[in-house]
């Protein structure tokens, strides 16, 4: 990946600081409040067409389960070495047990995960099949979720847990996928943290007063109500979003165009670090938030933190499905950017 010479100069000057901050990730303490999802990948070999209906019959080979949605942000933080607490809900089901088990194996504190007896664990099951010696392809995805809000007692439990633990962490991340955990009661508790990072797919003003928002381009356009099609509208959108949310900063992720960071009247452009080896962007936003948050927790400037988020995301998009990266992989990627072969 060839980067602009002026950006490379800036990146080279910041290299020692970036490496130092990454070494401090293990000292960061983060609470993630959000919609927890279990991603399931069920794979089988196609045997024949069914007599019951015009559908394929698969012989099951394996099932793989990984954290998704807000749970992916939790998992990314843990894989980068942080001490992580999580506040959220799971159903009284096998999927909830599986997700909590994955968290516990990663050393994540699940004391803030409560069981909702009326709603299932949000689960997205991707069923894929293949013939002999052929490529595996996704056939269908099955989503399990409820459109009902959590009971008020559960909302109060979440809010109480956040309030009790807010002084034990360096930052709170709100990961909102629209599945009902982040009610106004819960949001109000989360916003009491001195450093609150918000990743939400809708209605940014619900989190008014947060420190930093990380919308992608479609989310930013929806929030401001107009298309962002050039540098002028991008600059306007950044300022409008800051006014709309009363945030200190706004990071708009723009896919293959990189990132645009707004801090007061200042604007910074961070180019993409990987345009060629992109296999799957699923969950990349969670990775951005994780590395960005850890940068801020360990004393990085906002620009440096955004660079760390961009760097981490450039690695996970090379993998299929929601994925994580490590500090060592990030360090190697940074060195490769500055010293390409």
Catalytic positions are: 286
Residue of 87, 99, 76 whose CA lies nearest to 28: 76
CB-based contact 119:129 (threshold 8 Å): no
For the chain, how far is it from start to end, CA to CA, in angstroms? Answer: 10
Kindly write down the DSSP assignment for every residue of 152-186, as one continuous string: HHHHHHHHHHHHHHGGG-SEEEEEE-SSS---HHH
Please tell me the distance from the alpha carbon of residue 261 to that of residue 263, in angstroms, as a whole number.
7
Q: How many residues does the chain have?
A: 341
Q: Which residues is 81 bridged to in the sheet? A: none
Torsion of CA 39, 143, 220, 76, to 10 degrees: -10
Residue of 138, 120, 155, 157 whose CA lies nearest to 37: 120
Output b/e per residue, 205-235; b: 16+ Cβ within 10 A.
Answer: ebbeebbbbbbbbebbbebbeeebeeeeebe
Instruction: Name the packing angle between helices 327-338 and 5-23 (round to 10°).
Output: 160
Can you read off the two tokens belonging to residue 183? 């009610």
Residue of 33, 17, 27, 7 whose CA lies nearest to 182: 33
Give the residue carrying structure tokens 């459109």: 147
Please tell me the distance from the alpha carbon of residue 2 to that of residue 8, in angstroms, as a whole number.
9
Give the residue carrying structure tokens 């381009």: 217
Residue of 152, 128, 158 whose CA lies nearest to 141: 128
Instruction: Name the packing angle between helices 217-224 and 231-245 (round to 10°).
Output: 70
């Amino acid at each position: 990946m060839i980067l602009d010479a002026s950006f490379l100069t800036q990146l080279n000057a910041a290299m020692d600081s970036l490496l130092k901050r990454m070494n401090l990730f293990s000292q960061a303490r983060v609470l993630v409040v959000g919609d927890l999802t279990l991603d399931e990948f069920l794979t089988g070999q196609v045997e024949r067409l069914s007599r019951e209906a015009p559908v394929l019959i698969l012989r099951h080979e394996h099932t793989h389960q990984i954290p998704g949605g807000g749970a992916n942000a939790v998992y990314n933080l843990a894989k980068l070495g942080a001490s992580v607490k999580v506040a959220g809900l799971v159903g009284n089901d096998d999927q909830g047990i599986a997700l909590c088990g994955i968290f516990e194996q990663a050393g994540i504190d699940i004391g803030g995960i409560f069981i909702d007896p009326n709603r299932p664990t949000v689960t997205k099951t991707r069923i894929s099949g293949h013939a002999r010696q052929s490529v595996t392809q996704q056939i269908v995805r099955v989503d399990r979720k409820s459109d009902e809000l959590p009971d008020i007692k559960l909302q109060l439990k979440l809010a109480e847990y956040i309030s009790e633990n807010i002084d034990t962490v360096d930052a709170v991340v709100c990961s909102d996928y629209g599945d009902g955990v982040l009610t106004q009661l819960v949001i109000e508790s989360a916003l009491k943290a001195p450093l609150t990072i918000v990743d939400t797919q809708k209605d940014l003003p619900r989190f008014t007063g947060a420190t930093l928002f990380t919308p992608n381009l479609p989310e930013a356009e929806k929030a401001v109500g107009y298309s962002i099609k050039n540098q002028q509208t991008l600059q306007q959108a950044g300022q409008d979003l800051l006014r709309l949310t009363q945030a200190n900063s706004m990071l708009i992720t723009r896919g293959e165009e990189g990132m645009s960071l707004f801090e007061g009247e200042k604007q910074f452009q961070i180019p993409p670090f990987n345009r060629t080896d992109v296999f799957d962007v699923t969950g990349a936003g969670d990775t951005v938030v994780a590395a960005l948050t850890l940068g801020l927790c360990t004393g990085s400037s906002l620009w440096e933190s955004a660079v760390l988020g961009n760097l981490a995301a450039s690695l996970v998009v090379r993998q299929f499905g929601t994925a994580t990266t490590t500090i060592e992989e990030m360090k190697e990627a940074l060195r490769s950017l500055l010293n390409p072969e």
